[in-house]
Structure 1
Amino acid sequence: MSEKRIFVRDLAVGAQVNECFLLAQASKGQARNGPFWTLKLQDATGTIEAKLWSPAAGAFEEISAGQFVLASGVVNTFRDQPQLNLDGLELLGPSPEGVDHGLFLPQSAEKPECLLAALEELLAANIGHAPWRRFCRKVLGDPEIREKLLAAPGAKAMHHAYRGGLLEHTLSVCRVALSLCQLYPALDRDTLLASAAFHDLGKAWELTAGLTRDYTDEGQMLGHIMLGMSVLEPFLRKAKDLEPGLVLHFRHMLVSHHGELEYGSPRAPMTPEAMILHFADNIDAKVQQFSQVVEDPEKTGVVGYVRGLDRYVFNPVRVRPETPPAKKPQEKGPAQCSLLSKA
C-alpha cells in the first residue's frame, strides 16, 4: 500500500477523497431505490460517517467492521457534521501488507505508559494508609492488569474512546477526588483514592481494545462494575491487613459510582466519599465529551451536536490567560482574628 496521506482531521467539506481508513462500524439499510451502507471510518485523528448508496451498495452482501478499506468519494455535511459520500469502496481485510496500525488507532495525547506511571505516583504519594498503598501497588503491578490497562479505552464511544483512554480518565478522576479531599478534609482520602483508581477497572475486560472497540461477551452479560469487582476480589482477600470496614466501604464506592440505579449502579451512594466518586467520574466524562467536539478552540459559537449529552455544544469567548496580578496581603476576617486570639 502507498503511504497514508489524508487523515480524518484533514477532511473539509467539498474535498475529494481516495484514502485508506479503518472500518469501525458498518450497518446496512434499505431505501426506496435499494440498499445502502452506513459506515464509520476511522484513523488515529478521529472518525467520520460515510454513506454508500445504491447501486454501488448492492455489490456488498456483507461488510464487517475491524478491517481496512480504500474509500473514495466527496465530503458533504449532514446534520451539521461532515459525512463522506462514497462512490467507491474496496475491502482490504484486517491485515493488509504495509499498513501501520498506529496510523489508524486513536490514542491518548500522553502515552499510556506515562499515564500509568503518573497514576502509580499519585497513589504512592497521597495514600497514607500503608495497607491501601500496598493493595494499589499489587493490583497495578499485576502483569495481566497492566497489559489490559495500557490498551483499554475509557468507553466504546461516549468519552475517552481510544487506547489509553481508561488510564487518562482514571488519573483525572483521582485528581478531582484528591482536590475535593483538600476542600473537605474530613473525608476518608485513602479509601476514596483507592476506589477512584479502580472504579472503572472492569472496562478493561468489558471492551475490546483491538482494531475496533466493542463489548465482549462478558461485558454484555455482566458489565464493568461486576467485572471489576471479580478482578479485585482475590487481591482484597489477600490483603489481610485491611480492616473489614474499609473493604466494605471500598466495595460500596465501586458498586455505587454510577450514582443512580437506572444508570447501572446496584446501589446508590450512601456515603459522602461514594457521592464524590460518582460526581468526579461524571465531571471528567462530561468535560471530555464537551472538549472532544471542539476541533478549533478559536472558533466560537455552536460547534456540533453531542448525542451522549443530548445537546448542541457552544464554544464561548473565554478570557485569555494573563499574568496574574501581584498578590495583596490577605485581610483577616473576624473569624480568623478570633482563631488567632485563641492560639
Structure 2
Amino acid sequence: MSIKQLKDINKNYISQTFEATVLMSDIKVKASKNGKRYADVIIQDSSKAMEVKYWDYEENEEFINSLSPENAINIKAVVGEYQGQIQITIKQIEKANMDNVNIGDLIPTSNWGIDSMKNGLDFFYEKVKSSHMKKLIDRMIFSNDYFKKFSTHPAARQVHHNFYHGLLQHTLEVLKFGYTVATTKKLSERQIERLIVMTMLHDWAKIIEYKALPSVGFTEEGTMLGHIFLGAHTTLNVINEIEDFDQDDKLIILNGILSHHGHLEFGSPVLPKTVEAQILHQADKMSGDIESIMSFMADQENEEDTFTTKLWNMGTDYYKKGIN
C-alpha cells in the first residue's frame, strides 16, 4: 500500500504495511534489554516528521550509516500501536533515485508564506526608533551573516514550529501576541521597543542550537550550551560593540532573553523582572502551546475518536468534534 503523505497515517492503518519516499533526518542507536542494537529514526516528508523504529539496525549498520539527510529513501513499514500511540516500524530501506525526487517536497514548511512573513517582520522593525536598539537587531537579525538562517531554521526539534521557516513564524506569533498586550495595557513607546527587540532575539540562538533542515536535532554547541545562554551571550557581545548603548535597555533586553521560559525549572537562569519580560514569556508560551496542540490535532484529524490521544507536553487529550 502506498500513501501520499505521512500525516495520512492513522489508527485505521494499524497492522497494515505501506511504502513511502521520505528523508531520514536523524537516527539514534539504542540497545534493547537483550543487548541487541536498534535505531529510533526520524523520518519526514512535507506533511510532518515522525519517530519510527528500525529493529534491524545491527544487520544493516554500514548501509544505514552511509545515508545522509540530503538523500531520500524508499521505505516499507508497518503501522502498529504502543501504549495507545501509533508506532511505525521500518521493515525495508533502500536509497531513492534522486533524479525522481525534489528534496523541497520532503521538508515540512510553514504555510504562512515567506514574503508575508518578511513583511510582518519589517512592520515590527519600523516600530523600533532608538538607534542603538535598531543597530542591535540590524546586526543580529537583518545582517547577511544571519538573516537566511533566522528565516529558514526550525524553532524546535519536535514539539512546535519544527519546520522550514518555523523560527520566523514562531517569532512573528510572539511579536503579534506581545504587541497586542503591550498596546492594550498602554506600555510606553520605549517599553514596546524593548519588547520588540527582546522578542526578536529571544530564540535567535536556535540558529546555532539546531541543525539546519533537512537534518533534525541539536548541534554539539546547542547540546552543551543551549539557546538561552547562547542568545544572551551573543546579544551581550554585540551590545558591547555598540557605542553608548543605554544601560537600562541592555539589562532589560538581556533579562527578557534569559527569562523567557518563565521559570527556573524550565531552563531560565533568572525570572522575568520587567513587564516586558513577563509579556514575552506569556506570548512565547502561548505560541508554542497552541502550535503544539493544533499540529497534534491535525495529525489525528482523520481518526474517528472524539478525543485525541494524550498530548504528552500538555498533559491532556483534546476534543476534536468542534474544529470543523
**CA-to-aligned-CA distance 1:118-166 (integer Å, 9 cap, x gap):** 2122221x33445434543443321011021122110111111111111
Higher relative contact order (CA 8 A, sep 6+): 2
Query: What secondary structure sits across from 2:141 in the alignment?
Result: helix
Equivalences, count: 311
**Counterpart among 75, 82, 96 of residue 71 in structure 1:** 75
Q: CA RMSD in A?
A: 2.9
Question: 2:193 corresponds to which residue?
Answer: 190
The one-letter code of the counterpart of 2:308 is V
**CA-to-aligned-CA distance 1:50-101 (integer Å, 9 cap, x gap):** 3344xx55522363473533211333333443333433222x28x9454321
Partner Cα distance (1:48, 1:251) in 2: 35
Partner Cα distance (1:73, 1:194) in 2: 46
Structure 2 unmatched ranges of 5 or more: none
Partner Cα distance (2:192, 2:48) in 1: 37
Contact 2:24 2:41 in 1 (8 A): yes
Partner Cα distance (2:22, 2:73) in 1: 6
Question: 1:328 corresponds to which residue?
Answer: none
Contact 2:124 2:196 in 1 (8 A): no
Structure 1 unmatched ranges of 5 or more: 321-343
Query: What secondary structure sits across from 1:60 in the alignment?
Result: helix
Residue pairs, 1:80-159, within 5 angstroms: 80-90=84-94, 92=95, 96-124=98-126, 126-159=127-160
Could you state the TM-score of these two structures normalised by the residue count of structure 1? Answer: 0.79
Partner Cα distance (2:51, 2:237) in 1: 43
Identity between Structure 1 and Structure 2 (%): 23
More strand by share: 1
Residue pairs, 1:258-273, within 5 angstroms: 258-273=261-276
Could you state the TM-score of these two structures normalised by the residue count of structure 2? Answer: 0.84
Partner Cα distance (1:242, 1:89) in 2: 56
Per mean C-alpha deviation after superposition, the further-off stretch among 211-220 and 294-303 is 294-303
Partner Cα distance (1:33, 1:170) in 2: 44
Higher gyration radius (CA): 1
The one-letter code of the counterpart of 1:101 is I
Alpha-carbon distance change, 84 to 139 in structure 1, aligned in 2, over 3 angstroms? closer
Partner Cα distance (1:121, 1:21) in 2: 37
Q: Offset at 1:22?
A: 1.1
Per mean C-alpha deviation after superposition, the further-off stretch among 196-205 and 33-42 is 33-42
1:24 partnered with 2:29: no
Question: 1:335 corresponds to which residue?
Answer: none
The one-letter code of the counterpart of 1:200 is D
**CA-to-aligned-CA distance 1:232-259 (integer Å, 9 cap, x gap):** 3354234335422112211111111111
